[in-house]
Amino acid sequence: MTPSQKLTELGLTLPGVTAPIGSYVPGIRTGNLVFVSGQLPFVDGKLLAEGKVGADVTPEQAIKAARQSGINALSIAAHTAGGIDNIARVIRLAVFVQSAPGFSDQPRIANGASDVMVEIFGEAGKHVRAAVGANELPRNAAVEVEMMVELKG
C-alpha cells in the first residue's frame, strides 16, 4: 500500500500548505532530502494545545498536538516532494515540548508525532529523533516538530 492509499485508509487528510509570510519557507529540497520548518499543532488556523505540558496541557492533549504537528510537517514534506508517494523514508524528527517545571516525559509526547509516521509509512516511517524540553515555544504552543525526509529515486 502506498502512503497516499494508507492516508485514505486511516481517514487522514493532509492540510493545505500556506507559505509563511516572510523570509523563510515551509520546506526545501536539497539533493534527495527535504527539510521542513518547525511546525506547530495548527488545525484550521487554531492551535490544538497551548500552554505548558504537565501544567496547562495534559500529556494526552500534548500527544495529540505532537501528532498534529507531525501531520502538518508531513504535509509540507509531501508538498515539497511533489506528492507523499515521492517520499521514500522519514529520516529525522526533532520534537520540542513546552514543558512545565518537573515535566520530563518528552519522549512520550514525541511519540504522538513518531507514531503517525509509522502508521502512514510502515517501516519506512521509522526515524531518528530528538525529544527536548523548551521553557517557551512560539505562540505558547505545547509542541513544535521539525522534520527531514528522504525522497525516492
Contacts to a copy of itself by CB under 8 A: 22-28, 30-33, 35-38, 89, 91-94, 96-99, 101-107, 111, 114-115, 117-118, 125-141, 144, 146, 150
Distance CA 113, CA 111 (A): 5
> Min. distance of Cβ 57 from a copy of itself in angstroms?
14
Q: Cα separation of 40 and 125, whole Å?
A: 20
Q: How far is the CB of 85 from a copy of itself (least distance, A)?
A: 18
Nearer to a copy of itself, 61 or 99 (CB): 99
Q: How far is CA 130 from CA 123, 127, 139, in A?
A: 19, 10, 21
CB of 5 to a copy of itself, least distance (A): 20
Which whole-number Å values give the CA distances from 96 to 10, 66, 80, 127, in the listed order? Answer: 26, 9, 23, 16
The least CB distance from residue 113 to a copy of itself, in Å, is 9
- How open is the CA angle 60-128-69, to the nearest 5 degrees? 40
Query: Is the distance from CB of 115 to CB of 150 less than 8 angstroms?
Result: no
| CB of 35 or CB of 84, closer to a copy of itself | 35
Minimum distance from CB of 96 to a copy of itself (Å)?
5
| One-character DSSP codes across 61-94 | HHHHHHHHHHHHHHHHHHHHHTSGGGEEEEEEEE
